[in-house]
Structure 1
C-alpha cells in the first residue's frame, strides 16, 4: 500500500547548507525535482530572502559546493524561481528517487532544517530508506506517516506565505460570488504585487488539492 512520510532533515546534512550559512533568512520551496543522473538532481525551486536580497543570494548559490549550475527562471516581486543542479549532500534523495522509486510531493527548506513529504510505493520502501539513513549516518527524522486509503487530518503542506495569502483572500471576500475583493485589492492588503499573489494562490491551491485528496492516517510509532 502506498505510504506518505513527512520527514525532517538537518539543513547542515542536506544540499544548500552553505547558502543557508551565507543567507540565513532564505527559504526554499521545491516545485519539482528530477533525478537525471545517479549523483545529481535537478530541482526547480522557489526562493525568498527578504532581508538579504537576490544579489546576496545569487552569490551564495554560486559559491555553494552542493550546487553546480544555477539559472534564474522567474522573478516575482521578491519570490524567485531557480533551476539548479544539486551535486552534493543529496544521498538520501538520490536513494529514494532512484532505488525506491518514491516521489517527492513537497520540500521546504529554511535555515536549520528541510521538511519533506515523500510518497513511497509501500511501507517496506520507507523502512529501507530509513535503514539507508542509519547506515550512512544521515539524521532523518520521520515525523508522520499516512496510508492512502485512510482518512487523515492536519496541515496541508502550505508555506507560511501561501497560508497567509489564502486566508487573506478569503477574509477579503475574493472567493465569494460575486467577489468582495479583486486580486489587486488582496495583493495591496498583503503588500505584494498582483502577479506574486496570483502565483502564491496558484501554488497554494495546488497544495490543497494534492494534500487533501492524498489522504491517510497518522502513525508515529513505526520507527520508535
Structure 2
C-alpha cells in the first residue's frame, strides 16, 4: 500500500528559497515541470506580497535565469521560472551525495505540494511503499535537516486542519489563546500581530485563509446541501 508523507527539508540551497526569504510574509507554492530536462521549469504561485516585491526578488535571485508572469487572480500571482542552474549545480555546495540526488529523481514517488519557505521546502508527497519513502528520507537526513510531520497510508482521511500552513496554524493558535475569537473579543488584531511580530494585515490574511480552509474541509463538503433559507 502507498504512503502519503508531509515533511520539511531545511536547506537554504533549494531552489527559490532566497525568493521566499525576500518576501517572508508571502506564501510561495511551486510545481516542478520535469519534462524540461536537467533544469526543470518551476510554476510559482505567490500570494500575500505585492507583485513588485515578488518580481524584485525574482530579479535578484542568482539561481533564477528568466521568469514570466502567467497571470494574476486576487492577491495571487503565478510565474513560470527558468532556473539558471541544474539541481546538481545549485545544491552542489549543500549536498555531498549528488549521485544520490539523481537517483531520487527516478524514485517511485510523486511530490504533490511544495511550499517554499525562507530556509527550505515543506512538501507533501506520495510514495509507492515504505522502501521508497525510507530511501527519500534517509537521503535528506544525511544531507540536510529533515523533519517528518505526518506519514499515513493512502486513502486515510486527514483530520481537519492538515491543509493549513505552519503560519496559518501559528496565527490561529495565537489568536485563540489571546482571546481574539471570544465574545466579547479579548485581544485585537493588532495585539495578535504584535505577539507574532508581523503586520496586522498579514495576520488578517492568514486568519481568513485558515478559516476558509477549515470551512472547505468541514462545512462545505456537508451532504445533503445546507437548505437555502431564502426559498
For normalisation by structure 1, the TM-score amounts to: 0.62
Distance 1:59 1:179 in 2: 49
Deviation (angstroms), 1:130: 1.9
Q: Which runs of 5+ in 1 are unaligned?
A: 181-224
Distance 2:155 2:214 in 1: 29
The corresponding residue for 2:150 is 144
Kindly provide the CA deviation profile for residues 41-91 of structure 1, in whole angstroms up to 9, marking residues without a partner as x: 2232210243xx211211211221232221111112321011213444467
Residues 78, 95 of structure 1: alpha-carbon distance in 2 compared, 3 angstrom cutoff: farther
Equivalenced residue count is 172
Distance 1:149 1:111 in 2: 31
Which one has a bigger Cα radius of gyration?
2
Residues 20, 114 of structure 1: alpha-carbon distance in 2 compared, 3 angstrom cutoff: same
Moved more, 68-77 or 105-114: 105-114
Distance 2:215 2:79 in 1: 27
Distance 2:28 2:120 in 1: 11
The corresponding residue for 1:69 is 66
Residues 82, 93 of structure 1: alpha-carbon distance in 2 compared, 3 angstrom cutoff: farther
The corresponding residue for 1:189 is none
The corresponding residue for 2:2 is 2
CA-atom RMSD in angstroms: 3.2
Residues 25, 93 of structure 1: alpha-carbon distance in 2 compared, 3 angstrom cutoff: farther
Residues 59, 47 of structure 1: alpha-carbon distance in 2 compared, 3 angstrom cutoff: same
Residues 167, 157 of structure 1: alpha-carbon distance in 2 compared, 3 angstrom cutoff: closer
The corresponding residue for 2:26 is 26
Q: Which runs of 5+ in 2 are unaligned?
A: 92-97, 169-205
Distance 2:123 2:35 in 1: 20
